[in-house]
Amino acid sequence: MTNFSLAATRRWKLACRYGLASLLLVFFVFPIYWLFIISFKTPDEIFHFPPVWYPKSFQFANYAVLFKDGDAVSVLNSLILAGVSTVIAMIFGTMCAYSLVRFKTGGEDFAVWVISQRLMPPIAIIFPIFLLYVYLGWVDSYGGLIILYTAFNLPYVIWMMRGYIEDIPLELEESALVDGCSRWAVLWKVVFPMARTGLFATAVFTFVFAWNEFIFALVLTRTEVVTYTVQVTHYFGGQSNFWAKIAAMSALGTVPVFITVSLLQRFLVRGISMGAVKG
Amino acid sequence: MTSASPFVLSVIARPPSGRMPDHNFRYWIIAPSVFLLLLIGLFPLIYSLVVSFQQITMTDYDTSFAGLTNYAQLFDDARLWQSIAHTLIITIIALPVELVFGLAMAHLFLERMPGRQIFISLIVLPTVISPVVAGATWRLLFDQRYGPINQVIGWFAGHEVVMLWNITPHLVYPAILICEIWQWTPFMFLILLAALSNVDKSLTEAAELDGAGFWRIFFKIVLPAIWPVMAIAILIRGVDLFRIFDVIWALTSGGPGTMTETISIYTYVQGFQQFESSYTAAIAFLIVGLMSVIVIWAIRRMGLAK
């Protein structure tokens, strides 16, 4: 009898947990569903009262318009800026992290300074940078934004790679040195390959940060290198008929992030907690 | 920890070889990073300081020394202090809500249940979306007529409701906070879930056998165990909330009037819409100075840099 009631309570508890979990799922996923569904709706469905909860048919006209008008180039711009800056930040950042780990260069003060740069408000940095870029003629150029994105992501790369390099056994590097490798050769041939998992995971998050960045792009782009995040806000002015464009452009920028992050579930916690949680 | 390892000593003993010199290797490899970090870490500070002592405005390009005029102006600028107050209000409400909500969710998903991983993967999606896209999404959701939120409220109210979420003064803050909490609670949830899973089960079970209640176990065993990780999550979120810009830009652009203007929005308006260069530089210097002190203190206190 007691066994039976115990099983019943357990089942009841599990049902409650599923109920709560489903409610949470609706709260967190419905807005994303709504964004994507709008991108497939016809104007009549978007501006229908009461709202249409699911489109009667999937049509891609909203996306076609973005490609026809050339607005979709902004996604390519995001790809170039985030991609190039990530590669540079990974190379420089890993080198710097190696020096921090193995030689304790700069000691704790340098490490604190590096990570504190990550936490500075971008708005305070962007204003002087903007004046500098105007002077140099770098506004609305790929190079200018790539340098800025690289610099802004460096603290994160250094921080994360520091953790991953600490996990590499010292003996491998020592034996390579004994074999007559130069320091540079050790770095390229031992450290980089050994840290490849960490390099890959860190690169993906660095890429996503740059991909999703808004304020630097808002200030430093005009027409040539507009990123998808800035492009989305360009549609805000129009009161009504730009809804489809907002949704379609947002979806274009969001899908790649969803795909990469879901492939990297394993690294997600370490990536977003700046290494505070390992494993 | 800081004493030289045998590895370091072996460098000194070795003669340099190869094309690139091995001596000063440790400095060569940090040079590119340091150069780039100075560009965003030191240059803005110095340049802001210089410009803030001049009188460059939209109409006037006066680079002569203007003394502390701009800094004096900071204290008389009601709009600046209001924007700081708005920022603090958002931070003070959103941070504890995200923390408690995230912790409760982590508890819910701590034990095994079929399909757990799928639930988690879907719930964390908002966190990886660009904040400006998150703001845009909620703007569509909050629309007074074609958005689903007013529709659902209408079902419960029994009649059609017209709530202008991004215009009505008493609704703009709830709108911003809902969007912010929606996007970042999963962040807290994911980190706290990982922290909770690492808590030693034998300790909590032993306490349970001794008859300790849920809250007693939580405050005496669980909380101290997850605190180091929780503190870092709070630091990251606290700093992010203090510099909040994207979501508000997308939802209200600081409006109605200046009601939801945060410190980042206000600085942007001064610098890029009013072109008050020198005054903006003074604000930027104030923010960087303030944040440097707080952030470095927090990092050292938490022993983040070891």
Q: Which fold is adopted by the domain A64-272?
A: MetI-like fold (1.10.3720)
Q: For residue A214, give the nearest of B121, B246, B288 by CB distance.
A: B246
Q: Which two tokens stand for residue B1?
A: 């920890």
Q: What residues of B are in contact with residue A185 (Cβ under 8 Å)?
A: 18
Q: At what angle do helices B43-52 and B277-302 cross, to 10 degrees?
A: 140
B155 touches chain A (CB under 8 A): no
Cβ distance B140 to A111 less than 8 Å, yes or no, reads no
Residue B84 lies in a domain: yes
pLDDT at B262 over 80: yes
Number of folded domains in chain B?
Answer: 1
Most confident range (mean pLDDT) of A233-242, B59-68, B115-124 is: B115-124
Size of interface A-B (CB pairs under 8 A): 310
Query: What DSSP string describes A156-220?
Result: HHHHHHHHHHHTS-HHHHHHHHHTT--HHHHIIIIIHHHTHHHHHHHHHHHHHHHHH--HHHHHH
> Residue B1's pLDDT is what?
36
The tens digit of pLDDT for each residue in B24-52 reads 888 999 999 999 999 888 888 898 899 89
Q: For residue B119, give the nearest of A25, A100, A173 by CB distance.
A: A25
Residue A105's CB is within 10 A of a number of other CB atoms, namely 17
The tens digit of pLDDT for each residue in A205-253 reads 999 999 999 999 999 999 889 999 999 998 887 555 588 899 999 999 9
> Residue A86's pLDDT is what?
97
The tens digit of pLDDT for each residue in A16-67 reads 999 999 999 999 999 999 999 999 988 888 888 788 888 777 889 889 989 9
Q: Which residue type is seen at A55?
A: P
Residue B118 lies in a domain: yes
Q: Which two tokens stand for residue A231?
A: 């492009």
pLDDT at B302 over 60: yes
Q: For residue B214, what are the domain limits?
A: 77-275
Residue B208's CB is within 10 A of a number of other CB atoms, namely 13
> Residue B6's pLDDT is what?
45
The tens digit of pLDDT for each residue in B77-119 reads 999 999 999 999 999 999 999 999 999 999 999 988 888 999 9
- C-alpha pair distances (Å), A187 with each of A89, A94, A146, A153, B190: 16, 9, 25, 21, 34
CB B140 within 8 A of CB A243: yes
Question: In chain B, which residue ranges form alpha helices assigned H by DSSP?
Answer: 6-13, 25-28, 31-41, 43-52, 69-76, 78-108, 116-123, 125-128, 131-141, 148-157, 169-197, 201-209, 214-217, 223-242, 246-251, 263-268, 277-302
Most confident range (mean pLDDT) of A87-91, A111-115, B49-53 is: A87-91
* Domain residue extents for chain A: 2-59, 64-272
Q: Is the peptide bond before A50 cis (omega within 30 degrees of 0)?
A: yes
CB A160 within 8 A of CB A198: yes
B254 touches chain A (CB under 8 A): no
Residue with tokens 């902004």: A74
Residue B64 lies in a domain: no
Residue B126 lies in a domain: yes
Residue B17 lies in a domain: no
Give the residue among B240, B285, B291, B280 at the shortest CA–CA distance from B45: B285
Residue B146 lies in a domain: yes
The CATH number given to whatever domain includes residue B115 is 1.10.3720.10
pLDDT at B12 over 50: no
CA distance B277 to B51: 7
Can you tell me the ipTM of this complex?
0.91
A128 touches chain B (CB under 8 A): yes
E strand or H helix at B61, and its extent?
Answer: strand B61-62
Q: Which residue of A has its CA nearest to B299?
A: A112
**Of all residues in chain A, what percent carry a pLDDT higher than 90?**
55
Residue B147 lies in a domain: yes
Q: Which two tokens stand for residue A125?
A: 């940095």
B10 touches chain A (CB under 8 A): yes
**Per-residue b/e over B22-37, b at no fewer than 16 CB within 10 Å?**
beebbebbbebbbebb
Query: Does the CA dihedral B68-B70-B76-B81 come out positive or negative?
Result: negative
A13 touches chain B (CB under 8 A): no
Q: Classify burial at A11, counting beta carbons within 10 Å of its beta carbon; exposed 0-12, middle 13-18, buried 19 or more.
A: exposed
**Mean pLDDT of the region A5-9:** 84
Q: What is the DSSP letter of B66?
A: -
Q: Is the peptide bond before B256 cis (omega within 30 degrees of 0)?
A: yes
Give the residue among B172, B187, B62, B59 at the shortest CA–CA distance from B124: B187
The mean-pLDDT minimum among A68-77, A104-113, B192-201 falls in A104-113
A58 touches chain B (CB under 8 A): no
Partner residues linked to B62 by β-bridges: B55
pLDDT at B132 over 90: yes
